[in-house]
């Protein structure tokens, strides 16, 4: 079957919208207007890319979005076809829900596909070779020699009890008074944030989030129907003056924030700002969700809201995907006992239990004496990588938001650039995945900033591209 003749879309590289979004909107409009009829076969990915002067990767992402929205169907070995109008109607509820988080989904698909040939300075995790693979193998061998129900049965609802007790002791070392029964294990920190969002947020609720902040969290909250209200992030943490005005205007119940080695800016909250945030939470009856997923990468003393608050208003979220293994998917949340009980019930209803094997494995790693050495090595390696990345970024004309020696992320911009999305689109054509600042804004507003992962900046092609783009931005 031949494809349906289709005049090219009017794609504009000067348009602030990503090319992917322009393609999605253009095809969707033609289907809605019946210019493309049900059953019509679209041009192949290669042909579409050639006709429009874009990469095949861009076309794949756009077509995938349209499939998720119910406008296209993929037939293996045949191509993409326009769905029947009844099919769109049948999937309307699902499609509109997914569409709320579509800008998040395209970055996640992009980042998590097999792309070993692509430079990924915009990735949100450490390279696999930086992780403790040898420690995982060692603990796996020890675990494999232990028989028991954990190999075949469901785990306990709240998680593997010795592991929760160990987590409680680790929190006490950070100054957070906590018992094992206040901890619920999760499939990574993202699962913990999702459970909390489901529990506290109803459709239409206003929710405070960091601006810029964690784009996957924005996706969860949008799926729940929340109204995202961004609190500007400063070099000391949330702008508390603006935060109070937003609380008075929107009356939110929850504030989600990432306080240490903040994603994407890389800076940490100051003690003065932390105290002020907690004062506002007390005055306006606000629940605070503190995402501490990067906290283990910070050496020395740190200011945590949960330490100052002792889990009265703060729910504390952590995990091991950034320091041990993203594959194991082990995270946790700590909070008041009565909330922990309710979140355990929600965990059971939405996914039964977490993997006791994975939790036993992380427990073994944390108790065998190697984890602390691994963390020290990881921090040192990151400090060296940050220094190199800052030097190269400044050499090619980028301004660093705030220099520090710790953590993974650098927030940088070129002062003459108003929207870094265009730069990211140009980089993608050269197999370089940048993370433009718009993705980290609650409403994807235009931003001149880019997030760089210091551990992913070792490929010289990244800086050759940035240098060439500076000298010839219209090429």
Measured CA to CA, the distance from residue 247 to residue 229 in angstroms comes to 9
Q: Does the reported pTM lie above 0.85? A: no
* Predicted local confidence at residue 471, as pLDDT: 60
Is the model's pLDDT at 266 over the cut of 90? yes
| pLDDT, tens digit, 9 for 90 and up, residues 286-324 | 999 999 999 999 988 899 999 999 999 999 999 999 998
| pLDDT, tens digit, 9 for 90 and up, residues 405-434 | 889 999 999 877 778 888 888 888 888 888
Phi, psi at 457, each rounded to 5°: -105, 25
Is the model's pLDDT at 100 over the cut of 60? no
Q: Which CATH number fits domain 373-471: 3.90.1150.10, 3.40.50.620, 3.40.50.1950, 3.20.20.140?
A: 3.90.1150.10
The residue among 39 and 16 whose pLDDT is bigger is 39
Phi, psi at 290, each rounded to 5°: -100, 110
3-state secondary structure string, the chain? CCCCCCCCCCCCCCCCCCHHHHHHHHHHHHHHCCCCCCCCECCCHHHHHHHHCCCHHHHHHHHHHHHHCCCEEEECCCEEEECCHHHHHHCHHHHHHHHHCHHHHHHHHHHHCCCCCCECCCCCCCCHHHCCHHHHHHHHHHHHCCCCHHHCCCCCCCCCHHHHHHHHHHHHHCCCCCCHHHEEEECHHHHHHHHHHHHHCCCCCEEEEEECCCHHHHHHHHHCCCEEEEEEEECCEECHHHHHHHHHHHCCCEEEECCCCCCCCCCCCCHHHHHHHHHHHHHCCCEEEEECCCHHHCCCCCCCHHHHHCCCCEEEEEECCCCCCCCCCCEEEECCHHHHHHHHHHHHHHHCCCCHHHHHHHHHHHHCCCHHHHHHHHHHHHHHHHHHHHHHHHHCCCEECCCCCCCCEEEEECCCCCCHHHHHHHHHCCCECCEEHHHHCCCCCCCCEEEEEHHHCCCHHHHHHHHHHHHCCCC
The residue among 405 and 280 whose pLDDT is bigger is 280
Measured CA to CA, the distance from residue 411 to residue 426 in angstroms comes to 19
Measured CA to CA, the distance from residue 323 to residue 98 in angstroms comes to 30
The pLDDT > 70 percentage for the chain reads 90
Is the model's pLDDT at 19 over the cut of 60? yes
Task: Read off the pLDDT of each residue in 277-281 and give the average, rounded to a whole number.
Answer: 97
* Architecture of the domain delimited by 19-100: Orthogonal Bundle (1.10)
Is the model's pLDDT at 373 over the cut of 50? yes
* Predicted local confidence at residue 415, as pLDDT: 78
Domain ranges in the chain are: 19-100, 133-367, 373-471
Cis peptide before 83 (omega within 30 of 0): no
Is the model's pLDDT at 2 over the cut of 60? no
Task: Read off the pLDDT of each residue in 422-450 and give the average, rounded to a whole number.
Answer: 85
* Architecture of the domain delimited by 133-367: 3-Layer(aba) Sandwich (3.40)
The residue among 368 and 120 whose pLDDT is bigger is 120
* Predicted local confidence at residue 110, as pLDDT: 55
pLDDT band, residue 140 (cuts 50/70/90): confident
Is the model's pLDDT at 369 over the cut of 90? no
Task: Assess contact for 429 and 407: CB atoms under 8 A.
Answer: no
* Predicted local confidence at residue 163, as pLDDT: 95
């Amino acid at each position: 079957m031949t494809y349906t003749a289709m005049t090219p879309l009017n794609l504009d590289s000067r348009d602030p919208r990503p090319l992917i979004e322009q393609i999605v909107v253009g095809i969707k409009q033609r289907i809605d207007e019946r210019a493309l009829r049900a059953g019509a076969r679209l041009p192949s990915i290669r042909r579409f890319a050639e006709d429009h002067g874009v990469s095949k990767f861009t076309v794949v992402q756009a077509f995938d979005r349209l499939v998720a929205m119910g406008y296209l169907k993929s037939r293996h070995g045949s191509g993409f076809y326009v769905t029947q109008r009844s099919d769109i109607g049948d999937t309307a509820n699902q499609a509109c829900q997914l569409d709320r988080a579509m800008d998040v989904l395209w970055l996640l698909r992009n980042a998590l596909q097999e792309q070993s040939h692509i430079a990924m300075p915009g990735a949100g995790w450490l390279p696999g070779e930086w992780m403790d693979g040898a420690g995982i193998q060692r603990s796996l061998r020890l675990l494999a020699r232990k028989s028991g129900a954990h190999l075949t049965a469901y785990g306990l609802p709240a998680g593997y009890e010795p592991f929760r007790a160990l987590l409680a002791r680790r929190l006490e070392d950070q100054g957070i008074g906590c018992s094992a029964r206040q901890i619920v294990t999760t499939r990574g920190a993202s699962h913990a944030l999702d459970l909390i969002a489901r529990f506290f947020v109803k459709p239409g609720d206003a929710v405070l989030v960091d601006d810029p902040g964690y784009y996957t969290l924005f996706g969860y909250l949008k799926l729940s129907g929340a109204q995202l209200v961004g609190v500007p992030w400063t070099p000391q943490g949330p702008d508390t003056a603006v935060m109070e005005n937003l609380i008075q205007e929107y009356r939110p119940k929850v504030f989600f924030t990432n306080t240490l080695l903040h994603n994407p800016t890389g800076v940490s909250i100051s003690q003065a700002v932390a105290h002020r945030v907690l004062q506002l939470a007390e005055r306006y009856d606000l629940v605070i969700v503190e995402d501490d997923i990067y906290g283990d990468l910070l050496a020395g003393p740190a200011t945590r809201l949960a330490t100052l608050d002792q889990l009265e208003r703060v729910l504390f979220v952590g995990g091991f995907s950034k320091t041990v293994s993203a594959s194991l998917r082990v995270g946790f949340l700590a909070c008041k006992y009565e909330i922990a009980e309710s979140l355990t019930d929600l965990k059971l209803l939405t996914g039964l239990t977490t993997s006791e094997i994975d939790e036993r494995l992380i427990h073994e790693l944390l108790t065998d004496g190697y984890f602390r050495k691994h963390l020290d090595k990881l921090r040192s390696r990151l400090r060296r990588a940050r220094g190199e990345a800052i030097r190269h970024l400044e050499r090619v004309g980028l301004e660093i938001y705030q220099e520090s020696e710790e953590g993974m992320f650098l927030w940088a911009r070129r002062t003459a650039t108003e929207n870094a999305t265009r730069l990211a689109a140009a980089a993608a054509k050269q197999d370089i995945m940048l993370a433009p600042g718009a993705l980290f804004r609650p409403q994807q507003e235009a931003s001149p900033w880019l997030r760089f992962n210091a551990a992913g900046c070792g490929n010289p092609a990244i800086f050759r591209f940035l240098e060439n783009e500076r000298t010839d931005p219209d090429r």
